[in-house]
């Protein structure tokens, strides 16, 4: 009989798309060699931790040259088969090395050559729920449809802000827990997890576990290990929790499914929403995508019947939809961006003891520091951008590379000492409102004002107390927060959102407008939303106000169909960057020729300079690949990865592939 020579295919952190072959470590029992076990292996001159993908008796490499693995780290597989299959799908779909996919999403502690031990097993508690709140008719219908489903089904829970989507999630979760299953709830932001966690802990007796990148490595490992235990539990997490190692997952919920943060923008550019849908389908379980402003992709899938469409069109309780008013800024005198009409409305609400929210998606004091004499602007040395004036910190800051510098004494062009801030940021708005409305407190919520630990919680807590407050904030405020005393929402300027060039610009603007408006009128009082704009006749804006979110975007859907953009076509973005201005473009021109020679059902657009041509000292260019067939796009990318080595520049220029890109920057 031939001696069987087991060979391990191992995922190692390296550039190889697939696993590398190794011989089984010396002197270990073969029983330990199983897919999902961690193993120490030599890689070049280093020693690294990898994960066994499969066992085989033949290698396509010369077996005599195969290196021997050093030792297994686990007695039993740490990564389940279910998860290994998901990882390998992710690697193929996003054309990203399998080892980077796995090791990059496992807790970092698992890369160390140490056994993984769960310190405290969760006690199996009797299942117990807080009394369920009464549901309205629409909520009841949604819950009933969810209860009827057997196996995989993706649902879009399409509910206006304040319509009680969470209550529907809760009912579905009860169903899963009753079957002793585990539940994953994805939220778009770490800042939202404590709030959500508290809400779930109040309602359910089972363990409720946070999983996100802000946990310490040790805690993150413990939480990861907890998911593997055979007890019903709920995981509340951000993007990366889609790879948590559930023992028996029974339901996935994705809150605010449209949110851009579900797509990772560097390294493995995956969409947690799309991976979650794949995982639910593999596991044969239901998944709920919830949003007041669904992405056009999900909305289209629901309309076409691929997803179940659950609609909630009414606000629960006393909350009524806010009235919307446009303020034409043309020819008006504005004080720090505030028109007389808006100022009047603010004082009226504050006098009634209500809260006001002013939305401006631009932090700092002023976006531009300009020479009053000659128009010279202080720019970043490393990026294609202006430096933003931060008055509190007395610094000019680049919002792209974080370069900080003092304000120059005089202009670099004409040498006059007359630099002035131009334009409006949240700091300036805060300062102006503080002087005009004292003693009413003005609270600013943006990335600068919430850097300190707990400062966001403190601010939100103050708002919940219900005292009259003027709130100034960026898009951080559009997500999930609930303020019952808020009766007026002002969008300081709609114009930059309306003029975006990206094919998703309108969708994003509509989402922002609806989400920020949705903060008003959540309590018993009717809310009002005010939009300041210099384009009050803009056709899209008026459609949106007249027809609401879905109706307002119907035109955009028609355009996307004509142009073959998602959800009607498929995209991949090839990006390259280098300190030398010409290299990214040279490289992508060669890539273009290579892709073109493959033929097939694809369209190549570019290469062109990236919208932000220089970032952190590197020049950037991009090439967009478009196809009406997902399969054609992927087979092209597959061929490209096999042959890209033939292009010499591929070894010096930094490049990446973004499948289903969300941002074209
Ligand atoms: Zn000057
Ligand atoms: Zn910069």
> Closest-lying ligand to the alpha carbon of 371?
1
pLDDT of residue 480: 61
> Closest-lying ligand to the alpha carbon of 386?
2
pLDDT at 600 over 90: no
One-character DSSP codes across 226-240:
HHTSSS--EEEE-GG
Closest CA to 276 of 144, 192, 152, 104: 152
Q: CA 633, CA 640: separation in Å to the nearest integer?
A: 11
In this prediction, residues 60-66 reach a mean pLDDT of 84
> Closest-lying ligand to the alpha carbon of 382?
2
pLDDT at 1 over 60: no
- 378 CA distance to ligand 1 centroid (A)? 10
pLDDT of residue 500: 80
Q: CA 168, CA 105: separation in Å to the nearest integer?
A: 30
pLDDT in tens, 441-497: 999 998 888 888 788 878 888 888 888 999 999 988 777 677 778 899 999 999 888
pLDDT of residue 2: 47
pLDDT at 660 over 80: yes
pLDDT of residue 322: 79
pLDDT of residue 319: 63
Comparison of pLDDT for 126 and 628, the residue scoring more: 628
Mean pLDDT of the chain: 92
Q: CA 13, CA 2: separation in Å to the nearest integer?
A: 33
Q: CA 430, CA 281: separation in Å to the nearest integer?
A: 48
Residues, CB within 5 angstroms of ligand 2 (ion): 380, 382-383, 398, 400-401, 403
pLDDT at 608 over 80: yes
Closest CA to 242 of 200, 283, 269, 271: 271
Q: Is the peptide bond before 493 cis (omega within 30 degrees of 0)?
A: no
Buried b (16+ CB within 10 A) or exposed e, 576-605: bbbeeeebbbbbbebbbeebeeeeeebebe
Comparison of pLDDT for 201 and 483, the residue scoring more: 201
Other CB atoms within 10 A of residue 43 CB: 19
Q: How many CA atoms lie within 13 A of 135 on its CB side?
A: 18
- 3 CA distance to ligand 2 centroid (A)? 61
pLDDT in tens, 286-297: 999 999 999 999
Q: Is the peptide bond before 439 cis (omega within 30 degrees of 0)?
A: yes
In this prediction, residues 237-257 reach a mean pLDDT of 96
pLDDT at 115 over 50: yes
Token digits of residue 620: 């950037």
- 379 CA distance to ligand 2 centroid (A)? 8
- 137 CA distance to ligand 2 centroid (A)? 53
CA-CA distances (angstroms) from residue 480 to 127, 291, 522, 570?
Answer: 28, 10, 12, 30
Q: CA 193, CA 196: separation in Å to the nearest integer?
A: 5
- 496 CA distance to ligand 2 centroid (A)? 21
- 371 CA distance to ligand 1 centroid (A)? 5
- Distance separating the N- and C-terminal Cα atoms of the chain: 60
> Closest-lying ligand to the alpha carbon of 397?
2
Q: CA 324, CA 528: separation in Å to the nearest integer?
A: 6
pLDDT at 315 over 90: no
Closest CA to 79 of 108, 97, 102, 45: 102
- 387 CA distance to ligand 1 centroid (A)? 16
- 449 CA distance to ligand 2 centroid (A)? 21
């Amino acid at each position: 009989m031939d001696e069987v020579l087991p060979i391990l295919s191992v995922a190692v952190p390296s550039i190889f798309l697939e696993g590398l072959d190794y011989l089984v470590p010396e002197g270990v029992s073969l029983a330990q060699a199983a897919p999902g076990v961690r193993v120490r292996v030599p890689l070049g001159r280093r020693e690294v931790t990898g994960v066994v993908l499969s066992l085989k008796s033949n290698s396509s490499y010369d077996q005599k040259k195969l290196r021997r693995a050093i030792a297994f780290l686990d007695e039993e597989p740490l990564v389940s088969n279910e998860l290994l299959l998901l990882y390998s799908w992710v690697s193929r779909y996003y054309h990203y090395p399998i080892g980077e996919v796995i090791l990059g999403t496992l807790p970092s502690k698992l890369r160390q050559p140490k056994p993984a031990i769960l310190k405290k097993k969760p006690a199996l508690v009797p299942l117990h729920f807080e009394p369920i709140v009464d549901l309205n008719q629409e909520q009841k219908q949604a819950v009933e449809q969810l209860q009827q489903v057997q196996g995989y089904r993706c649902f879009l829970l399409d509910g206006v802000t304040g319509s009680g989507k969470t209550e529907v999630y809760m009912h579905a979760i009860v169903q899963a827990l009753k079957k002793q299953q585990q539940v994953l709830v994805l939220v778009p932001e770490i800042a939202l997890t404590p709030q959500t966690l508290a809400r779930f802990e109040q309602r359910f007796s089972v363990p409720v576990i946070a999983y996100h990148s802000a946990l310490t490595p040790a805690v993150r490992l413990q939480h990861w290990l907890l998911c593997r235990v055979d007890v019903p539990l709920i995981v509340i997490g951000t993007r990366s929790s889609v790879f948590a190692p559930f023992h028996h997952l029974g339901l996935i919920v994705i809150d605010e499914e449209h949110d851009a943060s579900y797509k990772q923008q560097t390294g493995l550019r995956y969409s947690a929403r799309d991976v979650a849908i794949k995982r639910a389908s593999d596991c044969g379980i239901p998944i709920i995508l919830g949003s007041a402003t669904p992405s056009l992709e999900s909305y289209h899938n629901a309309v076409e019947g691929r997803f179940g469409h659950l609609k909630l069109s009414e606000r629960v309780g006393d909350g009524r939809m806010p009235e919307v008013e446009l303020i034409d800024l043309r020819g008006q005198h504005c004080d720090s961006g505030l028109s007389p009409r808006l100022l009047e409305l603010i004082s009226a609400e504050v006098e009634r003891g209500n809260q006001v929210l002013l939305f401006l998606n631009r932090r700092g004091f002023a976006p531009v520091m300009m020479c009053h004499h000659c128009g010279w602007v202080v720019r970043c040395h490393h990026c294609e951008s202006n430096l933003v004036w931060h008055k509190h910190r007395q610094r000019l800051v680049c919002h792209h590379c974080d370069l900080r510098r003092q304000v120059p004494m005089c202009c670099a062009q004409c040498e006059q000492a007359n630099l002035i801030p131009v334009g409006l940021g949240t700091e300036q708005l805060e300062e102006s409102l503080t002087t005009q409305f004292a003693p009413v407190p003005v609270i600013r919520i943006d990335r600068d004002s919430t850097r300190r630990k707990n400062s966001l919680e403190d601010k939100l807590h103050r708002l919940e107390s219900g005292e009259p407050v003027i709130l100034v904030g960026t898009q951080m405020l559009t997500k999930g927060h609930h303020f019952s005393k808020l009766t007026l929402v002002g969008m300081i300027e709609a114009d930059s959102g309306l003029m975006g060039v990206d094919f998703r610009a309108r969708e994003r603007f509509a989402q922002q407008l609806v989400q920020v408006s949705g903060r008003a009128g959540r309590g018993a009082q009717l809310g009002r939303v005010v939009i300041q704009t210099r384009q009050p006749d803009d056709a899209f804006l008026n459609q949106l106000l007249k027809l609401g979110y879905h109706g307002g975007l119907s035109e955009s859907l028609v355009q996307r169909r004509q142009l073959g953009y998602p959800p009607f076509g498929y995209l991949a973005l090839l990006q390259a960057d280098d300190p030398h201005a010409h290299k990214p473009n040279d490289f992508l021109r060669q890539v273009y020729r290579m892709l073109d020679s493959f033929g097939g059902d694809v369209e190549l657009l570019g290469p062109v300079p990236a919208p932000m041509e220089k970032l952190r000292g590197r020049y950037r260019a991009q090439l967009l690949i478009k196809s009406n067939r997902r399969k054609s796009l992927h087979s092209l990318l597959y061929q490209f990865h096999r042959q890209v080595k033939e292009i010499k520049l591929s070894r010096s220029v930094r490049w990446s592939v973004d499948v289903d890109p969300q941002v074209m920057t």
